[in-house]
Amino acid sequence: MVPLTWYLVLAAALFAIGMFGVLARKNAVAVLMGVELMLNAVNINLLAFWRYTALGELVGHAFAVFVITVAAAEAAVGVALFIAVYRQRDTVNVEELDAMKG
């Protein structure tokens, strides 16, 4: 059987890649993709921990399903916001959105 550490390293790497995407990309859509990667990294963690340590309950599974649902809702709201902003400003580049300062 694959040891648990492998899953944890995979999840941590995925989380770090997602975080890099959020911090380094300028396009809001790419930032959202980074966030989705972070959430999926958590799903891997939850399922791996459930498989290797669980005390007989399905908490990890149930939680992962909730996370997927929340991620879908978040993507729907996020993309709708991007479209609304794009119609006003013709850009969703986070560096060009600087109407407020201070």
Amino acid at 53: T
Answer for which of 13, 24, 62, 68 binds other proteins (CB under 8 A) is 62
Beta bridge partners of 30: none
∠ Cα 33 102 92 (to 5°): 30
41 binds other proteins (CB under 8 A): yes
The backbone torsions φ and ψ at residue 19, rounded to the nearest 5 degrees and listed phi first, read -65, -40
- In whole angstroms, the minimum distance from the beta carbon of 20 to other proteins comes to 12
- Nearest residue (CB) to other proteins, 10 versus 19: 19
Q: Which of 2, 4, 12 is nearest to 49 (CA)?
A: 4
Place of tokens 């995407």: 21
Q: Which residues bind other proteins (CB under 8 A)?
A: 15, 18-19, 22, 28, 31-32, 35, 38-39, 41-42, 45-46, 49, 53-60, 62-63, 66-67, 70, 73-74, 77-78, 80-82, 84-85, 87-89, 92, 94, 97, 99-100, 102
